[in-house]
Structure 1
Amino acid sequence: MQTRTFIKGTIILIAAGLATRILGFINRIVTANILGAEGIGLYNMAFPTLLLIITLTQLGLPVAISKLTAEAVPKKDTRKMKQILVISLTVTGVLSVLFTILLVWSASFFAEYFVTDERALYSLLAITPIIPAAAVSAVLRGYFQGKQNMKPTAMSQVIEQIVRISLVAVCTNALLPYGLEFAAAGAMLSVAAGEGASLLYLMRRFTYDKPLPLRRRFFHSLKSGGPVFQDLMTVALPATGSRLVGSVTLFMEPIIIAHSLALAGYATAAATAQYGELSGFVIPLLLLPTFITHSFSVSLVPAVSEAAAAKDYGMIQRRLRQTLRTGLIAGSFCACFLFVFARPIMDVMYDSPESAYLLQIMAPFSLFLYMQGPLQAVLQGLNLARTAMFNTLSGAIIKMSLLFLFTSQPALGISGAALAIAVNMVLVTLLHFRVVTKAAGLILEGKAVLFIPAAAACSVFGINALLTPFEQTHPQIIQLTTATAGAGLIFAILLWTAGFFKWSYWRKISSMR
């Protein structure tokens, strides 16, 4: 039953992740065509601030909620589940209000002296409605995930993207006549609308299911929830450490890159545009396959927690091998495809073929990124979140040092930033893997590690060689579509021949209700 629940929940999240990534890319293409690289740069200078504040308001509670709820469900301990929600909503609610006030008060100073582009002020102010909505949504998602019910999380993600894509063109075009900085803020307002719609759905779903009478004796549950608060913090604080380190790093990235490019001789507008190309065009493409491994990661935390409580390390190893093999399949293909077809991809999607070199620098290293999330989820499920935090911190320190060292060199410029981020991907993943190997006895499947990347490379390079004679006679969009379908088909056939796709696996999935 655990296997069916894990796989079914993961498939629901993968389907939702695919839908949200497709919608998200449509959203980015629309936004990029309206704002251009410089406008995207302004938008992305504010976005890391949002991620940092969300991390601080959530305090790692979604992971803790998921873990503790998963432990309470088999015991049917509704009292504890109610206390988990009451305490989490109170903590995140108070923190979200405080950080919203702090952001409004400091936005002008931060825009002028930290990101070095005063025009980022309006995008920073547009963040404020997102903070409380994201805080409450995270608590509700953690609760549903702890019950291994992934449908509410999946639907809320899809709803959020649909609202964003419906409003982004309206908001940006309406404010564009007032200046690029206002248009970038309009794009951020569409994010706020999407987050609000997602929250309304989660609240409606929670009320409809009527799992717990939250409002009844709310303050009594809060006062008597001391032990539950301690349990939450025991899991949440170490778990938030890794996220906090990652968020602080993302927060510092535009600051370090902007100042480093200035030292390298780039003007403010040019530095903002180059940062927009890297953070708004290239990195989202590299993150495309992560919706698959992220879906597994969300399901892994409660599944690993249950297995660890029962000391069933064989189950933990099977779950992780399933996840890593899937990430290896998706990541190998995408890394090869993005490297080989970088120029036409950047041209078709963003009308920015000159950014292709950044994609080619980072694509080979992105495979490590797709393994990182599942490994970290296992560490959290095994109560090794503190170790995961130190791994992430080590990578962050090296990354920020290299960002300044490389990007400030006139010969490298923004390419140096791409290299520094790539080094971080590799280092943190290897550190996580080392710990998981010791803790859970994980042994890599040699056949998968060697065959899958080789099959991906053969498929992509082979289809590229076949299509080269037609480069001058067919539109790029046709070439890319044909290349994707052709390479994907060849890759699938190779995997099927090698035994990585089995009928028994698909029958198991298709039999789920």
Structure 2
Amino acid sequence: MGTRTFIKGTIILIAAGLTTRILGFINRIVTANILGAEGIGLYNMAFPTLLLIITLTQLGLPVAISKLTAEAAPEHNNRKIKQILAVSLTVTGILSIIFTIFLVWSASFFAKHLVTDERALYSLLAITPIIPVTAVSAVLRGYFQGKQNMKPTAVSQVIEQVVRISLVAVCTNALLPYGLEFAAAGAMLSVVAGEGASLLYMLWRFKHDKPLPLRHRFFHSLKGGGRVFQDLMAVALPATGSRLVGSVSLFMEPIIIAHSLALAGFSTAAATAQYGELSGFVIPLLLLPTFITHSFSVALVPAVSEAAAARDYGMIQRRLRQTLRTGLIAGSFCACFLFVFAHPVMNVMYDSPESAYLLQVMAPFSLFLYMQGPLQAVLQGMNLARTAMFNTLSGAVIKMSLLFLFTSQPELGITGAALAVAVNMVLVTLLHFKVVTKAAGMILEGRAALFIPAAAACAVFGTNALLHWWEPAIPELAELLTASAGAGFVFAALLWAAGYFNWSHWRKISSIR
């Protein structure tokens, strides 16, 4: 993958990621104002179960499809690509039917005995139609990414968020009179509608591009597909290992937290509300900059695979340094800003200033999270996905142990859960970093690792001190926007003065078409 293709694909994904994150936050603010912390807790208690089943359904195939399609495309081997799609659709189709039936059958058990809040049942049932939808979407997304065409993925993400945000208020308000549990299920229905619209666009784009007649002699393409299936599984199973471990960890998280808070003396409603504050308010804010590093990560897998096959470790280091530096810039600013301005941020966005302390607990550690995705993408591209899985597994085991140990302490409560998640962020990132450094050589720029966070801290703390001295008589939202603009300007100026931004970078990017 050439430099221009890598940068162009990454820019497309970053632009889409920024748009979807903005729309996503609007969606969360609307949902939070209607449902409150307790309703968000019900919503987020159902979501980890869905993510686990989607991971099992997709089986890591998007990464495998992308990799194998990227290898077949230069040879114009359309027969191989059609086999890849046919086998993938068959596997995910069968799995999606099995797991959809399983979730409908077991939803009552999950709600009553695992998350300990029977009201989560309706959210679980409402979300089940999304399983086959995401299965087909994943296959098409892997195909387009393997063809190094990031636009369909980007546009589908935006469509999904637009449809979701258009319907979430309608669905939740329509069902709210029947109870909070039904309103949470209404929010889930808006998610299903968004994913459905996204899939329709992907199908239209696939048919519009006319890459190959997939429906023509579809079952004939499955004949002799055993070798393709083996090739897919060789990539998919190790790649899905880390996702599966992460999904199981997320699945267990609300269960452990709910039971631990009960041991600490909290009622079911209070435990659900506190979990809603952590998982629905705080963590999404900390995940904000990850759309940048995720965009790089998607483009990194085929780029690193190509470089690793040629034993071009210098190229791997350059690609990863570009990504880590970008993540460090975005992550350092967001981590510092959310720590310093936690109270006004939580008050303005969610009308939940009491949750600000959780944001301050986790914000300093979130910088490690922004490095984790790119490091894992490099491990997958270098055929070290199994090592990445064991790193993720180690972090998950320690996180779940700490969740129970900390959260069950009455003096800690939900703060203990925040600390356990923070430990996981740091541990898994350091393990990934150790393996990548050993496999590809030193990839960390010491000067950047010290200067960028220091510059972000100076910009944010300095702006906060100036605002306290000035004490403007303006609404809190206006003060927050002033603070972000001022701190962002100072941070950018410091980076420019240090040479991290220059005109040659902008000319190179602007020349890409």
TM-score range, shorter chain: over 0.9
User: What's the counterpart of residue 210 of structure 1?
Assistant: 210
User: What's the counterpart of residue 38 of structure 1?
Assistant: 38
Please state if 1:415 is matched with 2:404. no
Task: Return the offset for 1:56.
Answer: 0.3
Task: Return the offset for 1:443.
Answer: 3.1
Contact 2:472 2:479 (8 Å CA) reproduced? no
Contact 1:471 1:479 (8 Å CA) reproduced? no
Task: Return the offset for 1:470.
Answer: 4.5
User: What's the counterpart of residue 480 of structure 1?
Assistant: 480
User: What's the counterpart of residue 244 of structure 1?
Assistant: 244
User: What's the counterpart of residue 372 of structure 1?
Assistant: 372
Match of 2:500, SS state, is coil
Please state if 1:505 is matched with 2:489. no
Match of 2:411, SS state, is coil
* 1:428 partner letter: V
User: What's the counterpart of residue 28 of structure 1?
Assistant: 28
Distance in 1 between residues matched to 2:439 and 2:340, nearest whole Å = 38
User: What's the counterpart of residue 400 of structure 1?
Assistant: 400
Match of 2:75, SS state, is coil
Contact 2:43 2:184 (8 Å CA) reproduced? yes
User: What's the counterpart of residue 363 of structure 1?
Assistant: 363
Structure 2 gaps of 5+ residues are: none
User: What's the counterpart of residue 281 of structure 2?
Assistant: 281
Distance in 2 between residues matched to 1:350 and 1:198, nearest whole Å = 28
User: What's the counterpart of residue 291 of structure 2?
Assistant: 291
Distance in 2 between residues matched to 1:212 and 1:507, nearest whole Å = 37
Task: Return the offset for 1:30.
Answer: 0.1
Task: Return the offset for 1:212.
Answer: 1.4
* 2:375 partner letter: L
* 2:166 partner letter: S
Please state if 1:427 is matched with 2:427. yes
The C-alpha deviation readout for 1:129-149, integer Å capped at 9, x for no partner, is 111101110111111011111
Task: Return the offset for 1:472.
Answer: 6.6
Match of 1:74, SS state, is helix
Distance in 1 between residues matched to 2:7 and 2:92, nearest whole Å = 31
Contact 2:39 2:276 (8 Å CA) reproduced? yes
User: What's the counterpart of residue 68 of structure 1?
Assistant: 68
Distance in 2 between residues matched to 1:469 and 1:339, nearest whole Å = 19
Distance in 1 between residues matched to 2:427 and 2:139, nearest whole Å = 31
Match of 1:295, SS state, is helix
Distance in 2 between residues matched to 1:69 and 1:504, nearest whole Å = 34
* 2:357 partner letter: Y
Distance in 2 between residues matched to 1:456 and 1:212, nearest whole Å = 49
* 1:10 partner letter: T
User: What's the counterpart of residue 323 of structure 1?
Assistant: 323
Distance in 2 between residues matched to 1:116 and 1:472, nearest whole Å = 47
* 1:202 partner letter: M
Please state if 1:135 is matched with 2:128. no
Distance in 2 between residues matched to 1:365 and 1:173, nearest whole Å = 37
Task: Return the offset for 1:471.
Answer: 4.4
Distance in 1 between residues matched to 2:472 and 2:261, nearest whole Å = 37
Distance in 1 between residues matched to 2:383 and 2:219, nearest whole Å = 30
User: What's the counterpart of residue 90 of structure 2?
Assistant: 90
Task: Return the offset for 1:305.
Answer: 1.0
Q: Percent identity?
A: 86
* 1:460 partner letter: V
* 1:52 partner letter: L
User: What's the counterpart of residue 268 of structure 2?
Assistant: 268
Output the aligned Cα RMSD. Answer: 0.8
Distance in 1 between residues matched to 2:249 and 2:223, nearest whole Å = 36
Distance in 1 between residues matched to 2:170 and 2:512, nearest whole Å = 41
Task: Return the offset for 1:60.
Answer: 0.4
Distance in 2 between residues matched to 1:509 and 1:317, nearest whole Å = 20
Aligned residues: 513
Task: Return the offset for 1:384.
Answer: 0.6
Task: Return the offset for 1:469.
Answer: 3.4
Task: Return the offset for 1:503.
Answer: 1.1
* 2:99 partner letter: F
Please, which moves more after superposition, 327-336 or 305-314? 305-314
The C-alpha deviation readout for 1:250-305, integer Å capped at 9, x for no partner, is 00000000000000000000000000000000000000000000000000011111
* 1:173 partner letter: N
Contact 2:264 2:413 (8 Å CA) reproduced? yes
Distance in 1 between residues matched to 2:34 and 2:470, nearest whole Å = 31
Contact 1:92 1:135 (8 Å CA) reproduced? yes
Equivalence map 1:427-506=2 (5 Å): 427-471=427-471, 473-506=473-506
User: What's the counterpart of residue 347 of structure 1?
Assistant: 347
Distance in 2 between residues matched to 1:471 and 1:245, nearest whole Å = 48
Taking structure 1 as the reference length, the TM-score comes to: 0.99
Match of 2:372, SS state, is helix
